[in-house]
Chain A
Amino acid sequence: MKPSEFEYHAPTTIDDAVRLLGTLEDARVLAGGQSLMPMMNFRYLMTTHLIDLNGVDALTRIEERNGRLHIGAMARQRDIELSPLVTQRAPLIRDAYQLVSHKQIRNRGTLGGSLCQLDPSSEQPCFTAALDGVLTIARHEDGAVATRELPMSDWALMYMTPALEEGELLTGISLDIWPAGHGYAFEEFARRHGDYAIVGVAALCTADAHGRLDRVSLTVCGVAPGPVRMHEVETALRGRPMDEDALRIAGDAARELDVMTDAHVSTDYRQHLAGVLTERALKTAFSRVATKS
């Protein structure tokens, strides 16, 4: 129950962090440590070099820029949850964090760490997809930092495997800001409070002056390696009133999702949960919409 030996590196700039990551052989990045450290304690994971990002202050910013919400990869989950800017611009995130593990874990855990860990049931990739997240990825190239951007829809390659190349570092996440008065909700079913969800659903919507939906975002987690945006249903709901029919259309679509199965949770049950939770999340989102007048 103790980690094996490793060399410890504590860079203080993004530049140093990506240079270390790009030049050291067999290196791992330490973010909040709430998933990596247990794996190292169990020696499921051993590494020659550990690059600790906790001293890189430039990765912790939470700010609004060019109409989007920018969150540094090392922003602590608890800081994001408590940020007045996040509460105002993306209340979905605050709601989702009430379901993420425990305060002791959120005090250390980071959004970037969770996205890289990419547990299929995690709430954080789910709300990132729901808010059309764009990820900034940095690497060391010809003595300088080169960056690229990747939409969240391209992030999950397979089970717990994000689209990061060797030597690449996730540095930040930008999220769509929905207009004031939009509806939002995060619903999930987990076996115990604070556990990863079996299935979770993020819903966002806005309505026009007649109370008809003009924009919907529906995302399901726990059914596939990455969060699943239900784009077809989002389009189908546009122009419809916020009524029981709309809930039924969305719920039926969720029940038809192609879902994974495992020893604990059957396909049928996951589909059932996806349907029920989609209806529940959308219903709450409807109730929170301030219709334009």
Chain B
Amino acid sequence: METRTVRVVVNGTAYEREVEPRRMLGDFLRHDLDLTGTHYGCEHGVCGACTVLIDGRTARACLTLAAQMDGHTLTTVEGLAGADGTLNALQKAFAECHALQCGFCTPGMLMTLTELLNETDSPTEAEIREAITGNLCRCTGYQPIVAAALLAAQRIREQRAAAPAAQATE
């Protein structure tokens, strides 16, 4: 079987791998790059656990071929925390609000909400619920996930509001 060369940037790191054309992006991340944070659930685009950002937009890693990612930039759940492991605002809010129990849906939830919070730092509860309709969680009942997203958005707004003031006092 003829292979394809894939050159891709994932979480700021450049990778080059030879892949079979049928290699799916989720398997590529998990098995070829050892980035096992992206979870594989239904493998047919329904559960949302494998959601990653392709050029800043959410997509299902189970419905995307690794070969298609040549030249593209990806963000996975491993790319959210700081280099020293400090959780970002959304991740902290998830921990504080108990927005995960078994944790299987969490990478997908985080990536979906990352896209939403990149688009707006003041989403309504309805917008949050709408955003996560494509991500299934069987533990939480979604309430704490929505609460975590609202809390993270509030903190992001506060950080942004505080940033210019801090500069002014320097």
Contact = CB atoms under 8 A, between A and B. Distances in A.
B63 A6 contact: no
A194 interface: yes
Nearest to A79: B57
Given A2-B24, A193-B133, A34 B68 contact: no
Contact of A6 (B21, B24, B45, B64): B21
A103 B115 contact: yes
A4 interface: yes
Interface centre among A2, A38, A101, A103 (most CB of B within 10 A): A103
Given A5-B1, A78-B57, A104-B51, A41 B44 contact: yes
Interface string A183-209: 000000000011000000000000000
B43 interface: yes
Given A7-B2, A8-B67, A104 B22 contact: no
A108 interface: yes
A194 B22 contact: no
A104 B112 contact: yes
B35 interface: no
A108 B65 CA distance: 12
Interface string B34-54: 000000000111001001001
A161 to B, nearest CB: 22
Given A8-B4, A33-B63, A2 B22 contact: yes
Nearest to B46: A38
B67 A103 contact: no
Contacts of B20: 5
B45 A42 contact: no
A82 B64 CA distance: 22
Contacts of A194: 133-134
A103 B114 CA distance: 13
B75 interface: no
A37 B63 contact: yes
Contacts of B133: 102, 193-194
A108 B22 contact: no
B134 A41 contact: no
A3 interface: yes
B60 to A, nearest CB: 6
A263 interface: no
B134 A108 contact: no
A10 interface: yes
A266 interface: no
27 contacts: A1-B43, A3-B22, A3-B24, A5-B1, A5-B20, A6-B22, A7-B21, A30-B65, A33-B63, A33-B65, A34-B45, A37-B45, A37-B63, A37-B65, A38-B44, A38-B45, A50-B21, A102-B133, A102-B134, A103-B131, A103-B134, A104-B51, A104-B60, A104-B112, A105-B134, A107-B59, A108-B59
The 10 A-B pairs at the shortest CB distance, nearest first, are namely: A102-B134, A8-B21, A38-B44, A37-B63, A1-B43, A104-B58, A107-B57, A3-B22, A104-B134, A108-B59
Given A37-B45, A50-B21, A108-B59, 6 more contacts: A5-B20, A41-B44, A41-B62, A103-B134, A107-B54, A193-B130
